[in-house]
Amino acid sequence: MAPINVVVTGAAGQIAYSLLYQLAAGNVFGQDVPINLRLLDIAPAMGILNGVVMELEDLASPLLSDVLPTDQPELAFKDADAAFLVGAMPRKQGMERKDLLAANVKIFKVQGEALDKFAKKTVKVLVVGNPANTNALMCSHYAPSIPKENFTAMTRLDQNRAQAALAIKLGVVVDKVKNVTIWGNHSSTQYPDAAHATVEKNGKVQPVPEAVNDESWLNQTFVETIQKRGAAVIAARTMSSAMSAAKAAGDHMRDWWYGTQPNQFVSMGVVSDGSYGIPKDIVFSFPVTIKDKQYKIVQGLNINSFARSKLDITAKELEEERAEANHILQQ
């Protein structure tokens, strides 16, 4: 089998460090799929990146066909099949989201242009670097020859956090909880929604709201815990989530590559088509099913008035981010 070309940006960073092991181990694209790794970072990080390359060599993974460390986007993105856009200005404690946006919009413009020129038109692009939703939108905008649906933002970390929190609450193993939804932005306005989730407990499958039987916990404690989890990790660790973010990036891309399980959906930030009354042309997290590398937004889920208010708040934030990003790029 011919190797696939996989790009990881910010390759000398913490998230990439965990992600690269997953890629080399075959956890994402499969145990029988060889990979050409293209590792992109900024020039000052090349020394560290060379150390990462040494470690990749020392893994002795038969799946690593070729590894190229570079600070040149045109080399990294050439004929790319899949790209993990991890590299971004990291969020530090006390940093405003607007500051983060200003620093990162320009990075994703450059990467969008490079993808447009050098990557395959079928490339699957996952934006991990924050603010991920708006970075993905900007990246797509500057790669007009690649379909918009090939650009996604990662909300799988939020989904995994929500799934884990519900599993702990219900006293089950995490894979017994299914179909938790993250709506909206990968930010503190996101809406983690357990209304359509199920849990298998004592051999019986039931709706999560019925199993939890505590509406105020689901609408307040659960929602706020997931919304603030990233900040809580930063406060405790003095750095943002890395190991869990890398795992989520692998989960997201594996499902995009191989499809979702029957009767299951996952959360992905995708360009809105107007589903659920969400404004078009923002990258919004929806529940999706995936088949043949194509996702479809799950339709027909009941949205009550509480959920509607949450969806409207996070959509408004994304519209504001889009306007701010466009303003920065026009300066």
CA 269, CA 19: separation in Å to the nearest integer? 19
CA dihedral 283, 123, 91, 157 (to 10 degrees): 70
pLDDT of residue 93: 64
Provide the CA 45 distance to its chain's centre, in angstroms.
23
The dihedral built from the CA positions of residue 239, 240, 241 and 243, taken in this order, carries a sign that is negative
pLDDT digits (tens, 9 = 90+) for 59-117: 999 999 999 999 999 999 999 999 999 998 876 667 776 777 888 988 999 999 999 99
pLDDT digits (tens, 9 = 90+) for 177-198: 999 999 999 999 999 999 999 9
Provide the pLDDT confidence category of residue 289 given band limits of 50, 70 and 90.
very high
CA 255, CA 266: separation in Å to the nearest integer? 8
pLDDT of residue 92: 67
Q: Which of 186, 196, 252, 327 is catalytic?
A: 186
Average pLDDT on 7-28 reads 97
Q: Which two tokens stand for residue 116?
A: 């447009």
Sheet with strand 64-70: strands edge to edge: 64-70, 35-40, 4-9, 82-85, 124-127, 151-153, 266-271, 283-291, 294-297
CA 248, CA 255: separation in Å to the nearest integer? 11
Distances (CA, A) of 93 to 13, 97, 185, 230, 314: 18, 11, 19, 11, 22
Q: Do the beta carbons of residue 301 and residue 196 sit within 8 Å?
A: yes
CA 288, CA 300: separation in Å to the nearest integer? 12
Q: Do the beta carbons of residue 121 and residue 148 sit within 8 Å?
A: no
Instruction: Provide the percentage of residues in the chain whose pLDDT is more than 90.
Output: 90
pLDDT digits (tens, 9 = 90+) for 244-263: 999 999 999 999 999 999 99
Output helix, strand, coil percentages for the chain, rounded to the nearest 5.
Answer: 45, 20, 35
pLDDT of residue 115: 98
Average pLDDT on 229-234 reads 93
Amino acid at 166: L
Per the listing, tokens 């959360």 go with: 267
Query: Given the DSSP bridges, would you call strands 124-127 and 82-85 parallel, antiparallel or unpaired?
Result: parallel
**Cis, bond preceding 131 (omega within 30 deg of 0):** yes
pLDDT of residue 299: 98
| Window from 24-28, 107-111, 282-286 with minimum mean pLDDT | 107-111
186 catalytic residue (yes or no): yes
pLDDT of residue 11: 98
Provide the CA 16 distance to its chain's centre, in angstroms.
13
Determine the length of the chain: 331
Q: Which two tokens stand for residue 52?
A: 């990462």
Which helix (H) or strand (E) is 55 found in, with range?
A: helix 46-58
**How many Cβ atoms sit within 10 Å of the Cβ of residue 167?**
17
Q: Does residue 149 register a pLDDT over 90? A: yes
Q: Which two tokens stand for residue 217?
A: 């916990």
Which helix (H) or strand (E) is 325 found in, with range?
A: helix 305-330
Average pLDDT on 297-307 reads 97
pLDDT of residue 130: 87
CA 230, CA 108: separation in Å to the nearest integer? 22
